[in-house]
Structure 1
Amino acid sequence: MPDDLRDVELDLDSDLFMRRLLRELAGTLEGVVGVDAAEGYVSTVGSQMGRWMDRNYRAALGTDALTPEQVAQVCVDLKRRINGEFYLISADEEKLVFGNTRCPFGRMVEGRTSLCMMTSNVFGRIAADNLGYARVELSETIARGDAGCRVVIWLEPGPEVAETREYYRIPDPPKTGGAT
């Protein structure tokens, strides 16, 4: 055994540790409470993360609300910043369509479909809080074994589809005049 373990070749760093931790947490949730309930838990966290990211982007851009074009740019940029490879396929007044070739969770997402609720809720929360409404469809996901992801954000209500989730604007809390 070497005297100093810093010299030992080992595939372990904080990023891999965190991705593995999330994989194991998702797997435990899926196994204990089922995939649907696990998706609910991840959705709650995803919604909170979406609100946090949205506030940060709006502050950085100096705006109270993003346009549909900015929502698309923000979705691509935030995934890039966390090591995903999302890109905009198309955008029109009805929908924003994204593709992805690399999940931010890396290979750890494979078989952990509940983790896809992070993308659904972050994208859905950002779109709904800026545009009033969003319905997110995850038609292809790396977690389910697809070669990539295909995510559609519908900007208007439409027929209910099993693989979609709806999001509505949650108003920001009122700003107070001073510290309490």
Structure 2
Amino acid sequence: MSNPRALASGKAKLSKCAWATVLMAALAANAKAEQGCPDNFVPNPNWTQGQSQCIPGPPTQGDADSSPPAPVWATRWGAIAIDSATGNMGAVTDMPSKRKAVDAALARCRDHGGTNCKISLEYHNQCAASAWGEGNGGTFVSFRAPSEKDAVSGALNQCGQDSGGACETFYSGCSSAQRVR
């Protein structure tokens, strides 16, 4: 008769071999052929003669790191100063801070002959316009809006309402955010 220990040992060896075969078959079933496509490309399922056999594949986790960083924008300020007694004004755009915009507009107003200059409007990352009308003893209006066209339109409309007559634009400008990275 056969040795029971040898039989048990043979079954153990057969069992390990069977498990290895099952494991290899399972791994082979999950493997997909790349058909020679480079990294991040997959075979073209609609390939016909004369077309590329490989097309860009879906993004992978590694692709997220290679995308460019989000842009960084710097706020830009503008300001309008006026001396209402003399009509002299000063305006600036694209200043890095509100304080610098206000100081520069007041200085320009004084440089143009103003002696009692006051800030009419400060704004950032948008546009502004100023209009003047003779009605009601003289009317001065500054207006801000997302576009220069809208700022001019707003200033003229408000001035017309306040003065009760025709107005004209004498200043418009924009301070747009600037990309720094």
Structure (1 or 2) with the greater helix fraction = 1
Q: What range describes the TM-score normalised by the shorter chain of this pair?
A: under 0.3
Bigger-Rg structure (1/2)? 2
TM-score (norm 2): 0.24
| Larger proportion of strand | 2
Higher relative contact order at CA 8 Å, sep ≥6: structure 1 or structure 2?
1
Give me the TM-score of the superposition, normalised by structure 1: 0.24
